[in-house]
A and B are shown apart, each in its own frame.
Chain A
Amino acid sequence: MQSEPGTGQLEVQEAAEQEAPTQPPLLDVRDLRVYYRSFAGLGRHRVSVRAVDGVTLALRAGETLGVVGESGSGKSTLAKSLIRLEPVTSGDVHLDGTDILALSERAFIPMRKRIQMIFQDSLNSLNPRFTLADTLAEPFIVHHLASRGELRHKVADLLTSVGLSPEMMDSRVTELSGGQRQRVNIARALAPTPDIIIADEPTSSLDVSVQAQVLNLMRDLQQQLGMSYLFISHDLGVVRRMASQVAVMYLGKIVEMTARDSIYSRPLHPYTRALMLAAPRPEPRVERQRQQAPIPGEVPSASAPPSGCRFHPRCSMARDVCAVEEPPLRAIEPGHWSACHFAEELRAESSQEVSLAGQ
């Protein structure tokens, strides 16, 4: 079961254009699809895994778009496909008006320095044999951004900008703590002065106290340098601190997208609501009252997504229509899109009871 790919998208695009007609988005993603072929049961039959299935989003200059989702939501595949680390099945990705998916590998190289990436695993994304100086000089060399003589000076500046001492330049990345390594990854991403940094769960493997340091650093750097972030996380609390716009993904699709404050004060998709309720909070009196986990069951396989609305088997609001008809992502109110048949009902009853923000 699959709905017409066009229907929901059009509305989204129209609404997006109405909202901000003057400023074209820096990164404009339309109906992006990434499908994998995979073999099930020892190669007996082929299945197609729809990791990203028709994602449309826009990232404006200086803004942070938070992408929230659990495993299997397609958020990491989305990130990688935007910098062509994953082959895209269909769709367009425009960076400043240039269709970057249409470029040859060679023509894409100069674009690559404009979009940088920070990964979750701070250790595996760094070469353990490299010193910090080697690691941070590399982008300057690759993109011909500095002469040999300037390198150490550039590296020292980068280290300072992420709160590390230039004296650490000759240490190896393996000598650093997790938080320090993630600072190095941020520094490396900053090296070619990108317009966009895609951060895929950048703090998920850090301790809570160190996570706060890294998030503050990313916010400070954005204020100083003005780049955009595509900030990917499973943690709604983290995204709330980082993003101005939030997109929630479930099984390869965006199910809700809007400005940060509206998503936290009145979520208009049952999945977003449940996800907020599922996250534990450091309040024993509240947590002890919990009776039931807010989202039952498991995330279904992306190779055999449920019919109709993909969330319907786990949704507390699901009705007959949900198993049959896939709800398009549509504007429920200006700037607030939801892919739920009953989003208007949620809006009517909404406001007070569910909120991370309303305390």
Chain B
Amino acid sequence: MTVQSYAGRAPRPSSLADVLELVLDKGLVIDAYVRVSLVGIELLTIDARIVVASVDTYLRFAEATNRLDIQAASNAEGLPQLIEDMTEKGASSKTRGALSGVAEEVSGWFGRGEDDEDEDSRRDGERRPRRPARSGASRRGRDNSRENARRRRPSNEDEEE
């Protein structure tokens, strides 16, 4: 199968979070009693649901209206300076920050294979002990939710042995 290329289309989704949603959330699964799951991978997509409180959203929009030139808006013309302001500290930055946070978290998780925590990760997967607190400052904030997620999951890995 060959498909002509088109500049606006990538072979895969461009963000790691979207790729992971595809390959971790979707696809065929093998019965839990037979399969051996790779270490930790089921935990990756859990933090990807974000709730933004309504009032916070409303206040962001109210603030944004102050930056809007109404006349220009009604002409639907560009306001480059204002838009730049918004991009820096405006309405969408909060959501974007949270989303890229997920991607960073996720890549951190995979990247861990490179260092000496490999050993821990593997044993985690086999026996699911409570994970000792990590020293990495960037991950500390997430450890709780990850632990909770881990405990919610039934442990299947031992069935194979």
**A and B: interacting chains:** no
